[in-house]
Amino acid sequence: MIPFSVVLLLLCATPLPIPSVALPFEQKGFLDFGKSIDVEGLMMMMMNDEEEGSAVEEYYKPEQPTCPFGCQCNQKVVQCSDLGSHYVPYDVPPETRLLDLQSNQIREIREDDFKGLSNLYALVLVNNKISRVHPRAFMPLRRMQKLYFSHNQLTAVPKNLPSSLVELRIHDNHIKKVAAGDFSGLGSMNCIEMGRNPIQNSGLEPGAFDGLKLTFLCISEAKLTGIPKDLPEGLHELHLDQNQIQAIELEDLRQYEGLHRLGLGYNHIRHIEHGSLDYLQNLRELHLENNRIPNVPGGLAGMKHLQVVYLHSNNISQVDMNDFCPEGFGVKKTYYNGISLFDNPINSWEVVPTTFRCVSNRMAVQFGNHKK
């Protein structure tokens, strides 16, 4: 039997451009997939969920195992990737837990494509040409937890997603609008990755995320001009990198007090209103690199848990003694292990050494390489 293909897995974290002594804060549990998915890694996640009791035990045992033509079947995993298939196979074994259909030529998901697959845990449809999904296609998948639909041609969020769904990836499609009710009934969902869709702020209807208890949301590489309103309040990670956001206003982040990581790199931010970051007292990692920010944002010194700050490639010309650390000692609970300030018009010799008194190691601060 041909072994499973192994593809690089990336956690939903971005490393510092120049390595620091300590690693940045990492949110565990989510995988950031490109155009290929490591099925072995997904299998490990499935087995871990089973051990923790979050997945459902096997309900059906066939008398004679079957396997769709051209696919590989092993331990409830059916791999039908890279076969040039135009449709979902009709004879997938009903005990299947993981169905891999990535990198095919599928254009449509039909009503009965998943009939009988009530035990399915994860469905991988990445890198196809899917533009149409029958509104009843997912109805049989009553226990599915993970749906990977990235790199397709969807113009809308698929209808009637299973209420058991925990993770949804619809990165790199043609979705312009997220309507109220698109995610209704998905109270178990904790991760949505929908970057690289042409979504504007006006495309996020009021109530689009109502009822969701997300901890991770990514709308990067879209067409946002401001931080969206009415996102789930319990978010731990919010990624809005590579948009067209121009400012952070005072009320933009008020409801996201539980954030651990905020990604706003590669935008057009020129102004951060004073006090707008004060709500983020649980923040561990802040990305503001590759913007047009003229100074170190106010409020960083008061964040007791902040560990990593990305401010490289901006227009910062001055760093004051209390920009990063609170006055006095013993106030900040967690020391920084990474502050990136390179590619800014800063004369490092003009910065007072005590400016970084709450940094874990001198190698964790990065200056230099400014292009005039």
pLDDT of 257 reads 95
Segment 269-277 shows an average pLDDT of 96
Is the model's pLDDT at 19 over the cut of 80? no
pLDDT of 18 reads 36
Joined tokens for residue 19: 């390595």
Cα gap 228→201, rounded to integer Å? 6
Is the model's pLDDT at 335 over the cut of 50? yes
Could you tell me which of 319, 310, 231 has the C-alpha nearest to residue 267?
310
Least confident of 63-72, 97-106, 172-181: 63-72
Could you tell me which of 361, 246, 372 has the C-alpha nearest to residue 16?
361
For the stretch 171-199, pLDDT in tens is: 999 999 999 999 999 999 999 999 999 99
Is the model's pLDDT at 16 over the cut of 60? no
**Residues 346 and 369 sit within 8 Å (Cβ to Cβ):** no
Cα gap 279→245, rounded to integer Å? 19
Q: For tokens 């990492």, what's the residue?
A: 26
pLDDT level of residue 20 (50, 70, 90 thresholds): very low
Beta bridge pairs of residue 285: 261, 308
Is the model's pLDDT at 56 over the cut of 50? no
For strand 31-32 and strand 10-11, is the pairing parallel, antiparallel, or unpaired?
Answer: antiparallel
pLDDT level of residue 31 (50, 70, 90 thresholds): very low
Angle, CA of 196, 99 and 144, to the nearest 5°: 75
Segment 53-77 shows an average pLDDT of 70
Helical H segments across the chain, by residue range: 39-52
Averaged pLDDT of the chain: 87
Q: Which residues contact 257 (CB under 8 A, 6 or more apart)?
A: 233, 279, 280, 281, 282
Q: What percent of the chain has pLDDT over 70?
A: 83
For the stretch 213-267, pLDDT in tens is: 999 999 999 999 999 989 999 999 999 999 999 999 999 999 999 999 999 999 9
